[in-house]
Amino acid sequence: MLARGKSWHRECFKCGLCAKRLDSISCCEGPDKDIYCRVCYGKKFGPKGYGYGLGGGALQSDPSVVCNGDMSAPHTTVVDTAIIKAKPGEGCPRCGGVVFAAEEVLAKGRPWHKKCFKCKDCRHTLDSINACDGPDRDVYCKTCYGKKWGPHGYGFACGSGFLQTDGLTEEEISQSRPFYNPDTTSIKARPGEGCPRCGGAVFAAEQQLAKGTMWHKKCFNCHDCHRPLDSMLACDGPDKEIYCRACYAKNYGPKGFGYGHAPTLFSSDGQNTMLYPEGKAFAGLKAPNGKGCPRCGFPVYAAEQMISKTRIWHKRCFHCGDCKRSLDSTNLNDGPNGDIYCRGCYGRNFGPRGVGFGLGAGTLTMA
């Protein structure tokens, strides 16, 4: 058996302390040129002190494995990172020492020692997840960053009903973190190219798109209630403005019986914009023969079309020709007269008649 470049008998290839038989996997070569199992190697040459025993809360203090009778645990060497000074602006921002690749941690493009990469206030060790870069070019944990640079006042403490009452005064806060409200109208854009709300130029870092037009993030809110919007909440109005869903429905949604907040409520807010009373349009151009909706004769656009037997219908016209019941692809029946029916009306008009074709087997349909 080979170990440390030396040949061993199989019978002699055992741990130097417990005499346990070893192999190429369990063998550990000690600095005293002997071989050990993993447990004995750890006892004799591994780290000692609080946390290095059988468990996290145990103390390794085995006197039988301490060399030269020294009962004290080995001391951890404290490295002074500030011994080798770096050029101004190139070293660690905390201690000013040179930062080598093996101990480098990056924050905002600046290298730090792992030892120095701690919160400036509470000295909590940081990593790439909980590190926050402050405007004073130092690093903080999330809690200290929020206390020092975050918003203050009612609702900005541990919960929405708490008051952030840190030792900093309002004057100190305003001096260290001045509030900046950008004026989006200072740079005017060409007619038709700027923000529709303020007319200022919109740059890539602050743009929001709606119906092919670019808006400032600051201006991208509801025209009526000024609620901030996003791509899920924004509704483009016919007046080229944007609205939240509620305000859009109030201004441009259908009105009348059944269009309130519940099916039985009546909406009477604003002017009635219902274009199809009694199911018929009273304005607009008719479509050419054979190209419009078979029921009303007006053009059918892609957003409102329903197809049956190669004919295109409006969604509002897609109902049974007899009972006016709304239809879909599961209960639709095309009649030989070019109209559409539900199953019941289709059976009454075009289904078989005679004994056994009524409501029961002994019924005669005379319709």
Q: pLDDT band for 357, please (50, 70, 90 cuts).
A: low
**How many Å apart are CA 65 and CA 44, to the nearest integer?**
5
Which range, of 49-53, 216-220, 223-227, 263-267, averages the lowest pLDDT? Answer: 263-267
Identity of the residue numbered 160: S
Q: pLDDT band for 243, please (50, 70, 90 cuts).
A: very high
What residue ranges define each of the domains in the chain, with the CATH number in brackets?
Answer: 2-45 (2.10.110.10), 84-149 (2.10.110.10), 184-252 (2.10.110.10), 286-352 (2.10.110.10)
Q: Is residue 152 scored above 80 in pLDDT?
A: no
Are 304 and 315 contacting, i.e. CB atoms less than 8 angstroms apart? yes
Identity of the residue numbered 24: S
pLDDT digits (tens, 9 = 90+) for 201-222: 988 888 888 877 888 888 999 9
Q: Cβ–Cβ contacts within 10 Å for residue 322, how many?
A: 15
Identity of the residue numbered 106: L
Backbone angles phi, psi at 342, to 5 degrees: -80, 175
